[in-house]
């Protein structure tokens, strides 16, 4: 039989497609956003110890108390906000699950969710599965900043949620204090929920500060803030993330979470709790760690026909390839993978309506120096 699809416009994600293509053609994979170096040894040892000590059964659905408390303590240290580990912190199967849970729990059929394009590809499918409609507001194509007046104009009586992302994937753009102030003004007096995707929160450069929604009491009171241990600790395959939200919002999110995954990988929760508590220097030094990679990679790109755009945060480098090709971004990335042996991600899948003539591709620099060197050697031959 042929089923009636709930997601008629959704196929295999561009990340899976490009990674498969890279494997088939032996390309250096700078496409999908995962590190090719190991997690911190202390974390690996803590995981092995948790397994050997028998911490292998179901965890509490919301996360083990030690991890939730460690998250709460880190939130206070990083953002000055005291959250209730029991009522406001929920450990999830990665950030994508937290986003899915929040949308399914808080958005109702017929309502609208505002998303800022380009945006991560899991946002709109969750909105569609909730029976709601995504309203796309484009970011500035030059620097990926938000035109807050356009966001205000997009709000209707049906708007239930606004989704934001800083540091931004795919561009690396970041909110400043003025952006939080604009958000506060737009949402004041409404019942709109703010979903803030902050998975790259610790990967910020050049002395900048991550302006988490959690810093602002008015915004935090209406927000679900999502983060990812995979991004922070180089363990994307563990699929552990979390959501911080006020008790009433957390209670609704948890209703979906308990029937979605129920709980997340138990031994890893014990290991992460230990890592946060005993080695805070890791997340505190993550910006400097990745800035060194960013700076080195950008210097190397100067010897190619790819023009790197500014990267304030995150671990992706956008490049303008217009000096090398007139192909569309999807065609260019396929050609680059098959013919030149470097996998990249096109930007158009992040948009509802990509800007006309845009020639941008996303490269991931969360890689070993040897991996980046091998990619540059091939890119220099464009």
In the chain, % of residues over pLDDT 90: 94
- What was the pLDDT predicted at 350? 94
Each residue's pLDDT tens digit, 182-211: 999 999 999 999 999 999 999 999 999 999
As a whole number of angstroms, the distance between CA 138 and CA 144 comes to 9
| Dihedral angle sign, alpha carbons of residues 242, 119, 31, 257 | positive
pLDDT tens column, 103-135? 999 999 999 999 999 999 999 999 999 999 999
Burial of 7 (0-12, 13-18, 19+ CB in 10 A): exposed
CATH 3.30.830.10 corresponds to the domain 14-39+284-379: no
CB 222 within 8 A of CB 192: yes
Decide if 29 contacts 22 (C-beta within 8 A).
Answer: yes
Residue 16 has pLDDT above 80, yes or no: yes
Pair 190, 301: CB distance under 8 Å = no
Span(s) in the chain for CATH 3.40.640.10: 41-280
Architecture of the structural domain at 41-280:
3-Layer(aba) Sandwich (3.40)
The pLDDT assigned to 246 comes to 98
Instruction: Give CA separation, 32 vs 35, 166, 170, 255, 352, in Å.
Output: 9, 19, 11, 31, 20
Statement: the pTM of the whole predicted model exceeds 0.85: yes
Q: What H or E segment, with its residue span, contains residue 91?
A: strand 89-92
CA pair distance 83, 81, nearest whole angstrom: 6
- Give dist(CA 134, CA 290) in Å, integer: 33
Supply the pLDDT for residue 9. 81
Query: What CA–CA distance (Å, rounded) separates 244 from 288?
Result: 26
- Residue 14 has a pLDDT of 84
**pLDDT range class, residue 12, cuts 50, 70, 90:** confident
CA dihedral (370, 374, 379, 381) in degrees, to 10, reads: 140
Summarize pLDDT for 32-69 with one digit per residue, the tens.
899 999 999 999 999 999 999 999 999 999 999 999 99
Looking at residue 298, its pLDDT comes to: 98
* Residues 228-257 pLDDT 10s: 999 999 999 999 999 999 999 999 999 999
Position 310 pLDDT exceeds 80: yes
Closest CA to 25 of 348, 335, 355, 369: 335
pLDDT at 216: 98
Stretch(es) of the chain classified as CATH 3.90.1150.10: 14-39+284-379
């Amino acid at each position: 039989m042929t089923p009636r699809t709930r997601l008629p416009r959704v196929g295999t994600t561009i990340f899976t497609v490009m990674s498969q293509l890279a494997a088939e053609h032996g390309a250096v994979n700078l496409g999908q956003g995962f590190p090719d170096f190991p997690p911190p040894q202390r974390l690996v040892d803590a995981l092995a110890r948790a397994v050997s000590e028998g911490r292998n059964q179901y965890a509490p659905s919301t996360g083990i108390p030690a991890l939730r408390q460690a998250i709460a303590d880190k939130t206070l240290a990083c953002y000055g906000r005291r959250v209730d580990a029991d009522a406001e912190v929920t450990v999830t199967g990665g950030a994508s699950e937290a986003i899915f849970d929040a949308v399914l729990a808080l958005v109702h059929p017929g309502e609208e969710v505002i998303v800022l394009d380009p945006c991560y590809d899991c946002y709109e499918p969750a909105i569609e599965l909730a029976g709601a409609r995504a309203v796309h507001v484009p970011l500035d194509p030059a620097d990926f900043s938000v035109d807050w007046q356009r966001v205000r104009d997009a709000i209707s009586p049906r708007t239930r949620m606004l989704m934001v992302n800083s540091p931004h994937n795919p561009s690396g753009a970041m909110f400043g204090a003025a952006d939080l102030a604009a958000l506060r003004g737009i949402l004041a007096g409404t019942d709109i929920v703010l979903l803030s995707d902050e998975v790259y929160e610790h990967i910020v450069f050049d002395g900048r500060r991550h302006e988490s929604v959690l810093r602002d009491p008015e915004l935090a009171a209406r927000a679900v803030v999502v983060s990812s241990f995979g991004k922070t600790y180089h363990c994307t395959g563990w699929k552990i993330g979390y959501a911080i939200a006020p008790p009433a919002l957390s209670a609704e999110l948890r209703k979906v979470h308990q029937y979605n995954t129920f709980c997340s990988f138990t031994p890893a929760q014990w290991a992460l709790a230990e890592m946060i508590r005993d080695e805070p220097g890791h997340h505190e030094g993550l910006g400097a760690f990745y800035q060194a990679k960013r700076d080195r990679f950008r210097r190397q790109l100067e010897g190619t026909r790819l023009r790197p755009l500014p990267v304030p945060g995150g671990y992706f480098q956008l490049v303008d390839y217009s000096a090398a090709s007139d192909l569309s971004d999807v065609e260019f990335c396929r050609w680059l993978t098959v013919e030149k042996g470097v996998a990249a991600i096109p930007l158009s899948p992040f948009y509802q309506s990509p800007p006309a003539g845009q020639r941008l591709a996303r490269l991931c620099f969360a890689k070993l120096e040897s991996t980046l060197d091998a990619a540059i050697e091939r890119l220099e031959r464009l």
